[in-house]
Structure formats: structure tokens, C-alpha cells
Structure 1
Amino acid sequence: MLCVGIFVGLVLESWSLPVQHETCGYLPPPVTRDFPLREGDILKAGSHGAQVTCLADSCRWPKAVDGFVYVPYIISRQYEDMDRITIETGMLDISSATCVKFVPRTHEPNFLNIESRTGCWSYLGMTGGSQTLSLQSPGCMWSGVAAHQLMHALGFVHEQSRSDRDYHISILWENIPEDQRDNFRKYETNNLNTAYDYSSVMHYGRYAFSEDGGPTIIPKPDPYIPMGQRDGPSLTDIHKINILYNCGRY
């Protein structure tokens, strides 16, 4: 009964981070929205949103003279205290191990505007100005989900979109609805000389966007390797942030 309750609740809250749940099966795909989302939760922003990697200075958040990367944010007052704690925990999971520091906005022109809109989604990298990041309450209220969207805002795409993904996973296209197949596109990415990470907080789950409940992603060579989690950034996720932002001592 607990699993049924969780499943129904997530459907109603329009969950948009498809990932396997080892106990209750798979989570539903995102609902259709009136704005363009790529890969389920990356919002397009004109020509900027067409990019699939974030390596240029114009996309990354700038580094301050003290060596830290400060990302200003505003958290909407619509959130309750526990929601705010959940979001700030996701921030802390990144800030505690990287040179990226999320700081409350004072007067900065570029900042994250975190709101409870429909679903969980973000722009890719820094877009400039007020940059919306949606974490719907209660459907997106896990610190790992917050960290996932924050990593999109820092410039990271999904792990299974990597250019080398075919060496590590198989996509079961027959189990994916035709109108959802764009969510599984592979891109020419700079993988920052890091190993493929099944445990990345940015990886889809085994049943993401499934049409009939069958798996859509199978790992290689061991088909039983766990994939996709929303507990928080993996060690490799943290390593990637430190490489992308040249964090030095971290």
C-alpha cells in the first residue's frame, strides 16, 4: 500500500526526473507542458538552450578573485521551512566538496530563482538575469532532486547522454514511446576525462520513460548494475564539478 501511495502521489505532482525506485518499480515520465523541455527536465532558452555541453565562459558561472564560484539564489517564499531545508541540503551537498558556493542573492544581476512550478526542471548553465529553476512541492522535494537540477544549472547534462554511452549502456528503443525517444539522444560531449558513472545523480533510471513498464536502459556488461539515484551527487559528480570549474585544491 505504501508503494501505491507513493506512486499515485508522484503522478499527481508531475514528477519529472525518471529514475528507478528499487522497491516500488519505476516513476512516471513527466507530463506535457506548454514550454519546450529537452530530456525531460532541461528547459530550452533560445539558441543557448540548443547547446549540449557547457564549457564556454559565457555558460559557466564566473569565478571570483578568491577562487570560489558564487551562485546567487532566491528561494520563493511559497516554500515551507522543510522544503527550504531540503533545497539548501542539495546546495550544501555540492558546496561542501567543490569551489561552487550557493549564496543568497543581494544585488547580483545573474541568479537562480527557485520556484515551485510544474515539475522539476532547469536551464542548462548560466543563462543570465533571473534564471528560473523549478522544484515543485512536494513532488520534487528530495535533496538529491535539488542537486540534480542545480547540476543542470551549473552546466551538466544527463549521464546517459554522454558521447561514450554505447560502451556502457544499451537503450531499448522498443520500450520507449516514439514521442519520448528524443529524451535518449546521444551528444558529442566533453566528458572531462572521467569514467562513465552509473551512480551519478544525473543518470536516468532503468525504467525511465517506459511505455509498458519494461526497462528502457540496460547497463553493460553487467545488466544488474544499479543505475540512477536521487540521494545526492556521487563522488564522480563532485569530481566533474571541480574539473569544469577548475576548483584546484578540491
Structure 2
Amino acid sequence: TYLNAKGVILRAFDQFRVKSCIDFKPRDTEEYYLSFKNLAGCWSYVGRVDPNGQNVSISVDCDRIGEVEHLILHALGFHHEELRYDRDDYVQIEFDNVIAGLVIFVSKNLSSTHDVAYDYLSVMHSDKNALSNGNGSTIITKDPKFQDVIGQRVEMSSRDAEELNLLYKCGKFYNTNNSYY
């Protein structure tokens, strides 16, 4: 429902406030702003691309805090974790299992790293069956214990927060002990 989605979006904003220097406020006269709507599906553009209201679509399928964080991180400039230049050291992409015509969406070298280590627990990592044509998993983790972990949408990881803070030159850094240093 709309009220549930609004509450989840506000809780996601709180997480950004706690874990980074990123804060959100209601739009005043800003030319660039995020416009949260239910536009069929869960999606967001990557980076600031659209003046006069950049749409972020939150449907009933994606009104979970981690999913909303994922979409906001896209808007803040984050690509999927498995699109890093070093991804072949951590995952294997099964191109034969990717839906025909969508292979471009698993091309690497799109995502920046800011020298933060690869993160299987990233809220930006796609799950093992992302873009699958039905013939099996598309992403195989080199470390098998993470195969069923990738694609989590519970909350941004400590490394997600660390990279966000580096990207936006925040003065505080969130670590796994929930403390600042």
C-alpha cells in the first residue's frame, strides 16, 4: 500500500542519515530531486540524470527497506556490485543463462570501487538468478558459501556505507561494529 511504501522510504532515509552524511528533505525549489512513484516495478536511473523530478519506482513488490536503499543508491550513482572491474575474481557470470538481449546488463567495468573490497553482502549485488532465461543461475560466487547470500535486500552493508561515504566525501565512516571512526 502507499502508506507502507511511504513508511519504508522514510526508514530508508533514516538509514542514510545514520550511516552516511547523506540526508534527504522534502523538495523546495531544487531543480534536481527524487520523485518516488509506483510506476510498475522497482527501478531507478543510475546517477543524477533527470532534472525536474527523477523518478524512482517503488511498487508493492519492492517496499522493503533494503530494496528502497538499493534504488536510492542507484540514484546516488551506484551500479550493481557484480559490474566492478574485478568481479571475475569473485563471481562467474553464466552468459548462456542470461536472457537474450540483456547480456549488456552484466557487462563489467561500470561500477566504481573507491578501493573498497568486493562485497558479496552488498545491497547492490544482484542475486544468483538475476536476468536468468530459466536455464539456471546467472551469477556463481567463487566462494560457494555466498551463493545463496548475494542479492540480499535487508539493508545496505557496512561496505556499501563505506563506499558511499568515500564517494560523497563524508567525514565519518560506518563500520561493522555500528560505530564511527
For the criterion TM > 0.5, the same-fold answer is yes
- Aligned partner of 1:173 in structure 2 is 95
Q: How many residues align?
A: 170
Considering fraction of residues, name the structure with more strand.
1
1:132 aligns with 2:55: yes
- 1:94 aligned to 2:16? yes
Query: Which residue number in structure 2 is paired with residue 223 of structure 1?
Result: 144
Whose radius of gyration is greater, 1 or 2? 1
1:108-144 superposed Cα distances (whole Å, 9 cap, x missing partner):
22211111101111122122331111112x1111111
**CA distance in 2: counterparts of 1:243 and 1:191, whole angstroms:** 10
2:130 matches 1:245: no
How far the C-alpha of 1:189 sits from its partner, in A, is 4.2
Q: Which residue type is aligned with residue 144 of structure 2?
A: P
Structure 1 segments (4+ residues) deviating >6 Å:
none
Shift of 1:188: 5.2
Secondary structure of 2:120 counterpart: coil
Please give the per-residue CA displacement for 1:21-53, whole angstroms capped at 9, x wherever unaligned. xxxxxxxxxxxxxxxxxxxxxxxxxxxxxxxxx
| 2:46 partner amino acid | L
Structure 1-normalised TM-score? 0.65
**5+ long unaligned stretches in structure 1:** 1-78
Aligned to 1:83: 5
Task: Find the counterpart in structure 2 of residue 198 from structure 1.
Answer: 120
Residues 103 and 175 (structure 1), Cα distance of their counterparts in 2 relative to 1, 3 Å cut: same
Q: Distance in 1 between matches of 2:113 and 2:14?
A: 24
Structure 2 runs not aligned, ≥5 long:
174-181
User: What is residue 164 of structure 1 aligned with on the other side?
Assistant: 86
Contact 2:20–2:170, Cα closer than 8 Å, also in 1: yes
2:144 match: secondary structure: coil
Equivalent of 1:118, from 22, 30, 40? Answer: 40
Q: What aligned pairs does 1:15-26 form with structure 2 within 5 A after superposition?
A: none
